[in-house]
Amino acid sequence: MNNELMFSKCLSPELDSRFKHLWCLVGNTPMLELQYSYKGKAGRIYVKCENYNLTGSIKDRMALYIMYKAYMNCQIQPDDVIIEATSGNTGISFSAIGKALGHQVKIIMPNWLSKERIDIIKSMGADIQLVSKEDGGFLGSIELSEKLAQQGGVFLPRQFENQFNAEAHELTTGREIGLQLASQGLVADAFVAGVGTGGTVMGVGRHLRSLNPHVKIHPLEPAESPTMSTGYKVGSHRIQGISDEFIPAIVKMDELDEIVSASDGDSIIMAQKLAKELGLAVGISSGANVIGAIKLKEQLGEEAVVVTLLCDDNKKYLSTDLVREQPVAAGYISTDLSFTGFKPIS
């Protein structure tokens, strides 16, 4: 991305160089071969470590790309306020990137997400407005952002419907995964990712499919809240960042293979194991993604190249169940698995 030779009358040379500098801190993340033993059988999956981005999550990629495209397409002015409804990581990404580009930022989010998310957003000087369940929760946050934008002087990234969200992952995350696997002579057979906006699964999926038309691209959802399977909000779950109450517009189910489900307790224990057995201190959705990948390995066999992501680090979850002992339930993947090591691939 840093070498893109394109110009726009709305992108000053000063801003253009700020974008280039930010791209040095976003993307180009490491990828690991994770080695494990599941039910006594050795296996390996490939994980992209998105906790290495500027603010510690995968969302930096789409926030930076959406901002860049907004300037390139003259959809934003330097003094516009960025307003976004988010379940947290996006708010942190737009706060950091918005501030680095000289914007005011206002984040609107449901009031039940972790306290760390709110504090991190505030620490970067962004305004934050919390919306209760009674006031509409997630959908209420989006409605409020649209209402505030009517007053003018506002840029709405609209991450749930903005095609540049998926395109960011097609051009960066997906491309990097393809190249990192190729460096080992590998091609992905399957990719799985939990769906928040769906930008990751759609974008990475499109790139991997361009490299292997037979690759399976699986969206993942919480077993306790199967919004994608049902099409509407159902239940509640503890995997912050995915399954936000509706199927986002950028998710095209006809481009995706079967939905994989992961229970939140199993995801928490898997994330705890990643930290305790390998020192990979990541968030709950990363645990869910690893469960999805192990399930696919069980279906596809020992030789299958199955890829997923570690979406963020664990620092935003230190006040949540991630750091509490979890009751074990029948059918959990995490209880029959132990990690044996990892190897970086480049």
> Measured from the CB atom, is 43 or 88 closer to ligand PMP?
88
Which CB atom, from 121 or from 311, has the smaller least distance to ligand PMP? Answer: 311
Residue 58 in tokens: 């995968």
Nearest to 43 by CA among 328, 220, 284, 295: 295
Give the H/E segment covering residue 209: helix 199-211
Nearer to ligand PMP, 8 or 111 (CB): 111
Q: How far is the CB of 155 from ligand PMP (least distance, A)?
A: 19
Query: How far apart are the C-alpha atoms of 285 and 301, rounded to whole Å?
Result: 24
Q: Which helix (H) or strand (E) holds 14?
A: helix 13-23
Residues contributing to the site for ligand PMP (CB under 6 A): 57, 59, 87, 89, 194-200, 241-242, 283, 285, 311-312
Least Å distance, CB 184 to ligand PMP, is 25
- The least distance separating ligand PMP from the CB of residue 309, rounded to whole angstroms, comes to 8
Assigned token pair, 234: 């159902």
The distance of closest approach from Cβ of residue 152 to ligand PMP in the complex, given in angstroms and rounded to an integer, is 28
> Exposed, middle or buried: residue 153 (CB in 10 Å: 0-12, 13-18, 19+)?
exposed
Residue environment code for 232-242, b if the CB has 16+ CB neighbours within 10 A, otherwise e: eeeeebbbbbb
Output the CA angle 34-39-40, nearest 5 degrees.
Answer: 80
Q: Closest separation between CB of residue 71 and ligand PMP, Å?
A: 22
In the bound state with ligand PMP, the residue whose beta carbon lies nearer, of 145 and 200, is: 200
Q: Which is nearer to ligand PMP, 89 or 326 (CB)?
A: 89
Task: Copy the structure tokens of residue 54.
Answer: 């500027």
Nearer to ligand PMP by Cβ, of 205 and 283: the residue is 283
Assign 148 to helix, strand or coil.
helix
How far the first Cα of the chain sits from its last, in Å, is 18
Q: For 47, how many CA atoms within 13 A lie in the half-sphere containing its CB?
A: 30
Nearest approach, Cβ of 37 to ligand PMP (angstroms)? 26
Identify residue 294 by its one-letter amino acid code.
I
Decide whether 11 or 288 has the Cβ nearer to ligand PMP: 288
User: Residue type for 220, please?
Assistant: L
Distance in Å, CB of 41 to ligand PMP, minimum: 28
